[in-house]
């Protein structure tokens, strides 16, 4: 019986599996990036006292901050933290973590793992936010040019100033971008390309190389497909506050999807002009944009034709803008706004028609009244 008990508790040293040692590198941001923390993780598949020590180069062993063993099932784990200077790390100094256990033979070398800057790469983290904006409908409409803006923002002035922009179109580098300092924590790079080049490109990419060497990439492409055309209408209101010498034309643009919209006006065959255009108002799946254009009573009485044209960022460069024209001979007194009453503004519908038509008409008229009133008040205050 005694002989049996000895065989149960005294096993040959060679039967104990070696512990597994690994080193992780963590940057310590709490001390101005002047220090790094090396974390040594030692795992063993049996219960044993484990000692962990560190070496810098060929120097003597040093102790780190070693925790108590943690047992999970049949696995024991021990962690040890060793703080080193950033200067030593940048010089590619080698650091070693050695582990010895109570079952090790006296002549056995400890299980060791080494690391250095050339052997491991620090985690790459982005310190800047990068935003790539779609081109504006205004530039596509007026100059047939796609103007793309890449904006960087960060919490550190040095990081923002040291960043470098690079543009590519379908993988080929594109030059000619102009940089702008928005404020101390934001910069932008603006690239202008032909509208047809933008439409045919599979990818336009803005790449930002940061101060820490990390590169952040953002890419976009023109949206394609058969998008529904916006609906354009013009309403006329006489401005009674300036002795009836002026009229205000109001262009209401309704689109059924989200898109940047540009509105411009024309007097006769003259050039396009900008009116007082508001921000889009979203209601359900509809976006409404209102633009106000002042004209003289004389031009109106002389039968001059006025046009409201709209383009969206999804429009193709060879497409004509959606336009609506009006003149004194084209519009009757009953079409003026807001002299009409609500009943006259809503067309008669048959009982067999869907009730959604009537509901939608009320919604459109209400939104227009709300937005229009705000713009008129704003315009009068500016004057």
Q: Are strands 286-296 and 276-277 parallel, antiparallel or unpaired?
A: antiparallel
pLDDT at res. 374 = 57
Q: Is 106 exposed, middle or buried, given 0-12, 13-18 or 19+ CB atoms closer than 10 A?
A: exposed
Residues of the chain with pLDDT under 70: 1-16, 26-33, 46, 104-107, 120-126, 224-225, 238-243, 257, 331-383
pLDDT at res. 351 = 40
How far, in Å, CA of 245 to CA of 19, rounded?
Answer: 94
Q: What is the pLDDT of residues 159-190, one digit of tens each?
A: 888 899 999 999 999 999 999 998 888 999 99
pLDDT at res. 168 = 93
The CATH code of the domain at 128-220 is: 2.60.40.10
Place of tokens 């209601």: 283
Pick among 2.60.40.10, 3.90.226.10, 1.10.3470.10, 3.40.50.1820: CATH of 16-115: 2.60.40.10
pLDDT at res. 7 = 42
pLDDT at res. 289 = 87
How far, in Å, CA of 254 to CA of 248, rounded?
Answer: 19
Annotated domain spans of the chain = 16-115, 128-220, 231-382
How far, in Å, CA of 63 to CA of 41, rounded?
Answer: 14
pLDDT at res. 214 = 80
pLDDT at res. 306 = 93
State whether residue 371 is helix, strand or coil: helix
pLDDT at res. 378 = 53
Q: Are strands 145-154 and 186-194 parallel, antiparallel or unpaired?
A: antiparallel
In words, the CATH class of domain 231-382 is mainly beta
Least Cα distance to 262 among 271, 250, 275, 249 occurs for: 275
How far, in Å, CA of 320 to CA of 266, rounded?
Answer: 14
């Amino acid at each position: 019986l005694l002989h049996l008990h000895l065989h149960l508790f005294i096993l040959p040293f060679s039967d104990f599996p070696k512990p597994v040692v690994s080193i992780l590198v963590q940057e310590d941001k709490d001390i101005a990036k002047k220090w790094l923390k090396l974390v040594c993780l030692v795992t063993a598949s049996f219960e044993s006292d484990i000692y962990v020590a560190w070496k810098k180069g060929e120097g003597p062993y040093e102790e780190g901050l070693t925790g108590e063993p943690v047992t999970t099932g049949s696995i024991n784990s021990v962690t040890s933290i060793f703080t080193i200077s950033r200067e030593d790390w940048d010089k590619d100094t080698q650091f070693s973590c050695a582990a010895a256990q109570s079952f090790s033979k006296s002549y056995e070398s400890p299980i060791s793992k080494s690391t250095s800057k050339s052997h491991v790469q620090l985690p790459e983290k982005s310190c800047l936010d990068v935003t790539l904006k779609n081109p504006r409908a205004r530039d596509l409409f007026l100059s047939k040019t796609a103007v793309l803006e890449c904006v960087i923002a960060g919490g550190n002035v040095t990081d923002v100033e040291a960043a470098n922009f690079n543009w590519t179109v379908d993988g080929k580098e594109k030059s000619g971008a102009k940089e702008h300092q928005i404020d101390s924590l934001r910069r932008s790079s603006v690239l202008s390309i032909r509208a047809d080049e933008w439409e045919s490109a599979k990818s336009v990419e803005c790449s930002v190389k940061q101060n820490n060497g990390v590169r952040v990439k953002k890419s976009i492409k023109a949206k394609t497909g058969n998008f529904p055309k916006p609906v354009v209408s013009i309403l006329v209101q006489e401005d009674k506050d300036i002795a009836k010498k002026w009229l205000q034309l109001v262009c209401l643009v309704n689109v059924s999807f989200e898109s940047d919209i540009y509105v411009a006006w024309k007097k006769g065959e003259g050039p396009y002009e900008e009116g007082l255009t508001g921000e889009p108002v979203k209601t359900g799946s509809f976006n409404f944009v209102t633009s106000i254009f002042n004209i003289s009573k004389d031009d109106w009485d002389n039968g001059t034709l006025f046009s409201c044209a709209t383009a969206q960022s999804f429009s193709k460069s060879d497409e004509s803008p959606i336009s609506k024209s009006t003149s004194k001979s084209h519009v009757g007194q009953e079409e003026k706004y807001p002299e009409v009453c609500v009943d006259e503004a809503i067309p008669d519908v048959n009982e067999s028609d869907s009730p959604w038509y009537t509901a939608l008409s009320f919604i459109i008229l209400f939104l227009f009244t709300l937005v229009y009133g705000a713009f008129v008040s704003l315009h009068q205050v500016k004057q």
